[in-house]
């Protein structure tokens, strides 16, 4: 089914052609037709990492390092459906997100069997656009932090490479997992119902020496089913002797097996599992930097289909940003990020990346971004006690 209203078929094709001809690598600057615009900002996408908190914290309860690596892979695989297909499923097609402004925040928490899991997402760069996040469960000592940008090309289709990474930390075992982000492309552009397909693979490298590799195969060449993948866990450098193997579809079910005996060690079915809804403060209690409050009027106008009003509201936000940038230029300072800071201290990260032949492309993300507990401590008053994690590090 096409997301394009019948009367907009012609304008959709001219949009596709125009975007193709004039594409400058920046997806956010593309002017898309109204029906493809989302009322959700990219800062909200960080929540996709933990919509099943009990699965997110499960590795912290496992004593065996090899099984922990398996549970980390399992959690990662469960996030893919939210990350890459939830807009299509809920809204009928992929939608163009609101382009976050510098300093934009999305704060919330999940409350369930895993206890309290908190989310902080912050737009830490505007040129290029970079979103950083920290998801924390103090009771289980589990923290995920990361940041990401996108580099896009538009030839016959939209191809998106993600720059950045995610880093999962298990306090109890002083263990870290570096997660690379898959590149993707947009299918269905010509028919007017864009959706995401993942390319190539994702790697997860643990400090304990395990590597997980997930191969995405689209319409699986074996099963013929869409969103198929296979995955394996092996000791770093020993891809030929896997310990676990996984196969299935990241939008529905998968099975994790012991590679030797082929017995099932774990499995997942999205149909059988509910996500835990994220709780966000009521608009009246939110700060002006929080995404739903900041974009509230724009979103309402988009919802009503009042494009003039939507663009007026957007202009107000952009003007405010320009004025703020001017003030900073006069005072020769940079916008002070609320929860994150640039770090030069990322040897551990680099070491993990090197094990899987990856680098840390600091120049493409306006720096390497790190969650700062000290900054969060200071933000506690204005940003509501208890919403953001405050730990021991600086």
* Closest separation in Å from C-beta 34 to ligand 0T9: 12
Q: Which residues pair with 116 in a beta bridge?
A: 111
Pairing of strands 244-249, 253-258: antiparallel
The separation between the first and the last C-alpha atoms of the chain, rounded to the nearest angstrom, is 51
Peptide bond before 132: cis, by omega within 30 degrees of 0?
A: no
User: Considering the complex, what minimum distance in angstroms separates the CB of residue 48 from ligand 0T9?
Assistant: 6
Specify the residue, 148 or 202, whose C-beta has the smaller distance to ligand 0T9: 148
Interaction between residue 20 and ligand 0T9 (CB under 6 A): no
Between 36 and 168, whose beta carbon lies closer to ligand 0T9? Answer: 36
Site membership for ligand 0T9, residue 150 (CB under 6 A): yes
Minimum Å gap between C-beta 131 and ligand 0T9 is 7
Tokens coding 10? 């012609």
Q: Nearer to ligand 0T9 by C-beta: 106 or 244?
A: 106
Asked if 168 touches ligand 0T9 (CB under 6 A), the answer is no
User: Closest distance between ligand 0T9 and the C-beta of residue 18, in Å?
Assistant: 11
Task: Give whichever of 94 and 243 is closer to ligand 0T9, judged by the CB atom.
Answer: 94
What long-range pairs does 164-168 form, CB within 8 A, spacing at least 24? 164/130, 164/365, 165/349, 165/353, 165/358, 165/360, 166/49, 167/349, 168/59, 168/72, 168/142, 168/143, 168/144
| Residue 194 sits in the site that holds ligand 0T9 (CB under 6 A) | yes
Closest to 164 (Cα-Cα) out of 199, 119, 133: 133
> Is the Cβ–Cβ distance between 104 and 289 less than 8 Å?
yes
Closer by beta carbon to ligand 0T9, 121 or else 228: 121
Selected from 44, 51, 94, 247, the binder of ligand 0T9 by CB under 6 A is: 94
Binding ligand 0T9 by CB under 6 A: which of 48, 173, 335, 346? 48
Would you give the distance in Å from CA 327 to the centre of its chain? 31
| 236 φ/ψ angles, rounded to the nearest 5 degrees | -45, 125
Candidate segments 50-58, 94-102, 278-286, 363-371, binder of ligand 0T9 by CB under 6 A: 94-102
Is residue 43 part of the contact set for ligand 0T9 (CB under 6 A)? Answer: no
Helices (runs of H) and strands (runs of E) counted in the chain:
8, 18
Contact status: 193 vs ligand 0T9 (CB under 6 A): no
Q: Looking at beta carbons only, is 148 or 206 nearer to ligand 0T9?
A: 148
The sign of the CA dihedral 19, 20, 23, 28 is positive
Any contact of residue 23 with ligand 0T9 (CB under 6 A)? no
Total binding residues for ligand 0T9 by CB under 6 A? 19
Q: 36, 77, 212, 231: which one contacts ligand 0T9 (CB under 6 A)?
A: 36
Query: In the set 123, 136, 148, 206, which binds ligand 0T9 (CB under 6 A)?
Result: 148
80 lies in the binding site for ligand 0T9 (CB under 6 A): no
Task: For residue 213, give the nearest of 201, 229, 228 by alpha carbon.
Answer: 201
The nearer residue to ligand 0T9, 184 or 388, going by C-beta atoms, is 184
Residue 310 binds ligand 0T9, judged by CB under 6 A: no
Given 8, 65, 186, 265, the residue binding ligand 0T9 (CB under 6 A): 186
Strands (E) located in the chain: 37-41, 96-98, 105-112, 115-125, 130-137, 142-154, 158-170, 175-180, 184-187, 195-198, 201-206, 210-218, 228-235, 244-249, 253-258, 264-269, 340-342, 369-371
- In this structure, what is the dihedral angle of CA atoms 164, 197, 233, 167, given to the nearest 10 degrees? 20
Question: What string marks each residue from 125 to 144 as x (binds ligand 0T9 by CB under 6 A) or -?
Answer: --------------------
| Tokens describing residue 2 | 């096409």
Residues lying near ligand 0T9 in the complex (CB under 6 A) are found at 27, 32, 36, 42, 45, 48, 83-84, 94-97, 148, 150, 160, 162, 186, 194, 196
């Amino acid at each position: 089914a096409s997301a394009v209203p019948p009367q907009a078929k012609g304008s959709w094709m001219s949009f596709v052609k125009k975007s193709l001809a004039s594409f400058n690598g920046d997806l956010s600057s593309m002017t898309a037709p109204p029906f493809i615009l989302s009322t959700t900002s990219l800062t909200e996408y960080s929540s996709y990492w933990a919509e099943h908190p009990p699965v997110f914290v499960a590795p912290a309860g496992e004593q065996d390092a090899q099984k922990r690596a398996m549970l980390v892979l399992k959690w990662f695989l469960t996030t893919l459906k939210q990350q890459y297909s939830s807009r299509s499923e809920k809204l009928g097609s992929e939608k163009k997100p609101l382009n976050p402004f510098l300093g934009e925040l999305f704060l919330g928490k999940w409350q369930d069997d895993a206890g309290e899991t908190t989310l902080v997402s912050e737009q830490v760069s505007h040129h290029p656009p970079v979103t950083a996040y920290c998801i924390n469960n103090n009771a289980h000592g589990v923290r995920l932090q990361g940041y990401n940008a996108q580099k896009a090309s538009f030839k016959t289709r939209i191809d998106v490479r993600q720059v950045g990474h995610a880093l999962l930390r298990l306090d109890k075992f002083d263990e870290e997992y570096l997660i690379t982000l898959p590149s993707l492309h947009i299918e269905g552009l010509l028919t007017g119902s864009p959706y995401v397909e993942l390319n190539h693979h994702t790697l997860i490298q643990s400090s304990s020496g395990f590597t997980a590799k997930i191969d995405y195969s689209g319409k699986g060449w074996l099963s013929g089913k869409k969103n198929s993948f296979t995955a394996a866990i092996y000791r770093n450098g020993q891809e030929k002797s896997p310990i676990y193997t996984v196969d299935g579809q990241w939008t529905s079910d998968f099975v994790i097996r012991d590679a030797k005996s082929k017995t099932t060690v774990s499995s997942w079915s999205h149909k059988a599992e509910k996500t835990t809804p994220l709780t966000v403060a009521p608009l009246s209690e939110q700060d002006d930097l929080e995404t739903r409050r900041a974009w509230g009027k724009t979103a309402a106008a988009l919802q009503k289909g009042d494009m003039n009003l939507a663009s007026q509201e957007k202009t107000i936000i952009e003007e405010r940003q320009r004025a703020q940038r001017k003030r900073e230029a006069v005072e020769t300072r940079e916008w002070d990020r609320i929860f994150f800071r640039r770090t030069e201290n990322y040897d551990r990260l680099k070491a993990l990346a090197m094990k899987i032949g990856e680098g840390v492309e600091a120049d493409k993300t306006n720096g390497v971004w790190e969650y700062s507990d000290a900054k969060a401590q200071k933000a506690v008053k204005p940003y509501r006690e208890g919403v953001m994690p405050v730990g021991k590090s600086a």
